[in-house]
């Protein structure tokens, strides 16, 4: 395909998106009364994060006529999220047919975007979606929907401007500023409510000797080096594969489990029932599902595992729990439940955690947020997995709830639309498959909240509305002659 042919296809798709939206009379007309605070315009919704979840949420709000909404992301445009930053896989794990953030519009799917440019035959030939192409699709999605997003803007702090108004301290290259929002959506991603999970034993180790799997790693510097990767998930394989492709001398996968997980359990029961039903399970059943999934663990993709194992200098060590690490000159000794390993560099592919206290921007609200460990979880429910115990216990539209009722009412205006919502809502705000359902649930909650909060103004608007549908000349009133004409003999 030439560049011009691709562009022509894309132009046709863009026209189709516009036509589809106009057939559905979308976006809905703007309906939320504007507010000011201390003379400054108030946003109805501010979204922090313009990765996939932030985009879907913003698009859904805009289409619903909540157009005084905006998203901010500190990443430069086109570099939001993991896809072409720290993601080290070649392609997405998800099947190419997932509709992701399309919001029920066929023309907004990855398939439509791909087919418009490369044709149906190429679509049939496509295996998994290359991660670079997924990022390009997200960039297109943002453009075609003309989403109001500012990049290079970081959220520094959240405060209560009033009980129902969030004050956000933002920073961009011009300096810091405060903005007010009636609702705040935290679409801050997988590490968004905490950060990387790093096992304690790595605490004292010189940072030149190790990295977390989501760090910016200088793989070129690992050429000729002995590398150990802790973990057996997708990130572990992707980092190991990348190190090997950069010429690592040896690669040891240190895997705690006796066997590799082989079955992706939750994918197996994927259905609209799961998407819409998890939220309404009793708490003990939510725990039961995710406890089971946590114990079964998600296997790394087959292609990522083969990417590692095809290298003769890669070794998989199972039942090999890491007990500690120590520096030995410029090398690292990794003590394990089997034998000690001596390597040059350690990569901890140990995932993320929910720890609001670790993020400066959440410092003012962290202590008020109710988590599952605050009396919801009981040992009878299952294993006390740390990341589940620390998960926020969320309300109907992803809003935080207070630990102490009345201590921080502002939390009802702050929505946790990221991976940490999984235990309360199912996977509607992290992975690709159900993000549109998540954005819809979020939008409905925010729309209802705004309408209720503005009920007096909405009622006044109802009273003031005076555009006649009937003009008065469509009929004549026959009542005046009624008595003389219609005399019924009694």
Ligand X SMILES: Cc1cc2nc3c(=O)[nH]c(=O)nc-3n(C[C@H](O)[C@H](O)[C@H](O)COP(=O)(O)OP(=O)(O)OC[C@H]3O[C@@H](n4cnc5c(N)ncnc54)[C@H](O)[C@@H]3O)c2cc1C
Rounded CA-CA distance 483/472 in Å is 24
Give 172 or 335: the residue with its C-beta nearer to ligand X.
172
Residue with tokens 């930053």: 85
Interface pick for ligand X out of 43, 182, 190, 370 (rule CB under 6 A) = 190
We find the least distance from the C-beta atom of residue 87 to ligand X, in angstroms, to be 4
Residue 52 lies near ligand X (rule: CB under 6 A): yes
Q: Which stretch binds ligand X (CB under 6 A): 21-29, 118-126, 188-196, 437-445?
A: 188-196
Tokens of 233: 């998930």
Instruction: Give residue number: closest CB to ligand X.
Output: 51
Residue 458 lies near ligand X (rule: CB under 6 A): no
Rounded CA-CA distance 51/80 in Å is 5
Count of residues near ligand X by CB under 6 A: 30
Interface pick for ligand X out of 80, 136, 344, 454 (rule CB under 6 A) = 80
Q: Which stretch binds ligand X (CB under 6 A): 224-232, 249-257, 425-433, 453-461?
A: 425-433
Residue 300 lies near ligand X (rule: CB under 6 A): no
Assess contact for 419 and 190: CB atoms under 8 A: yes
Residue 81 lies near ligand X (rule: CB under 6 A): yes
Rounded CA-CA distance 49/480 in Å is 67
Walk across the sheet containing 341-343 and list its strands: 322-328, 331-336, 341-343
Residue 361 lies near ligand X (rule: CB under 6 A): yes
Q: Which helix (H) or strand (E) holds 250?
A: strand 250-254
Q: Which stretch binds ligand X (CB under 6 A): 86-94, 158-166, 365-373, 442-450?
A: 86-94
Q: Which stretch binds ligand X (CB under 6 A): 74-82, 113-121, 341-349, 457-465?
A: 74-82
Angle between helices 3-23 and 110-118 (to 10 degrees): 140
Rounded CA-CA distance 150/207 in Å is 33
Chain residues 240-269 in contact with ligand X, contact rule CB under 6 A: none
Angle between helices 110-118 and 131-144 (to 10 degrees): 100
We find the least distance from the C-beta atom of residue 77 to ligand X, in angstroms, to be 10
Assess contact for 193 and 361: CB atoms under 8 A: no
Walk across the sheet containing 345-348 and list its strands: 210-212, 345-348, 226-230, 250-254, 314-317
Give 238 or 291: the residue with its C-beta nearer to ligand X.
238
Interface pick for ligand X out of 99, 188, 336, 391 (rule CB under 6 A) = 188
Interacting residues with ligand X (CB under 6 A): 48-49, 51-54, 72-75, 80-82, 87, 92-94, 154-155, 187-190, 192, 361, 418, 430-433
């Amino acid at each position: 395909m030439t560049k011009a042919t691709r562009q022509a296809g894309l132009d046709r798709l863009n026209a189709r998106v516009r036509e589809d939206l106009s057939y559905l009379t979308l976006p809905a007309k703007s309906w939320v009364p504007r507010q000011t605070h201390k003379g400054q315009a108030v946003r109805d919704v501010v979204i922090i994060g313009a990765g996939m979840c932030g985009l879907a949420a913003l698009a859904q709000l805009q289409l619903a006529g909540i157009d005084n909404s905006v998203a901010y992301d500190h990443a430069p445009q086109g570099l939001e999220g993991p896809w072409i930053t720290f993601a080290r896989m070649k392609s997405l794990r998800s099947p190419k047919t997932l509709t992701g953030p399309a919001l029920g519009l066929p023309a907004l799917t990855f398939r439509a975007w791909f087919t418009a440019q490369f044709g149906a035959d190429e679509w049939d030939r496509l295996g998994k979606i290359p991660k670079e192409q997924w990022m390009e699709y997200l960039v297109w999605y943002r453009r075609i929907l003309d989403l109001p997003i500012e990049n290079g803007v970081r959220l520094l702090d959240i405060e209560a401007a009033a009980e129902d108004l969030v004050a956000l301290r933002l920073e961009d290259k011009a300096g810091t500023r405060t903005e007010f929002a009636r609702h705040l959506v935290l679409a801050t991603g997988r590490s968004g409510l905490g950060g990387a999970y790093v096992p304690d034993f790595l605490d004292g180790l010189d940072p030149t000797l190790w990295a977390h799997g989501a760090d910016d790693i200088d793989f070129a510097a690992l050429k000729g080096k002995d590398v150990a990767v802790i973990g057996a998930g997708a990130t572990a394989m992707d980092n190991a594969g990348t190190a090997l492709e950069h010429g690592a001398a040896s690669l040891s996968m240190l895997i705690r489990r006796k066997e590799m997980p082989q079955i992706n359990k939750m994918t197996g029961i994927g259905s609209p029932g799961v998407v819409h039903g998890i939220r309404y399970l009793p708490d003990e059943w939510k725990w039961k599902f995710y406890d089971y999934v946590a114990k079964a663990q998600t296997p790394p993709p087959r292609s990522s595992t083969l990417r590692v194992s095809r290298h003769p200098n890669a070794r998989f060590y199972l039942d090999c729990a890491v007990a500690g690490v120590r520096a030995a000159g410029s090398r690292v000794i990794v003590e394990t439940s089997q034998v000690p390993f001596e390597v040059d560099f350690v990569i901890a592919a140990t995932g993320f955690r929910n720890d609001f206290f670790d993020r400066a921007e959440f410092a003012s609200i962290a202590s008020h947020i109710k988590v599952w460990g605050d009396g919801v979880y009981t040992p009878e429910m299952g294993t006390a997995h740390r990341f589940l115990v620390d998960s926020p216990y969320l309300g109907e539209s992803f809003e935080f709830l207070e630990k102490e009722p009345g201590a921080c009412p502002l939390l009802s205006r702050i929505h946790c639309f990221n991976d940490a919502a999984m235990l309360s809502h199912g996977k509607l705000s992290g992975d690709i498959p159900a993000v549109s359902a998540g954005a819809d649930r979020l939008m409905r909650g925010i729309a209802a909240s705004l309408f209720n909060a503005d009920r007096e103004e909405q009622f006044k608007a109802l009273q003031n509305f005076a555009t006649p549908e009937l003009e008065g000349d469509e009929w004549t009133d026959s009542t005046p002659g009624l008595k003389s004409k219609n005399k019924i003999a009694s």
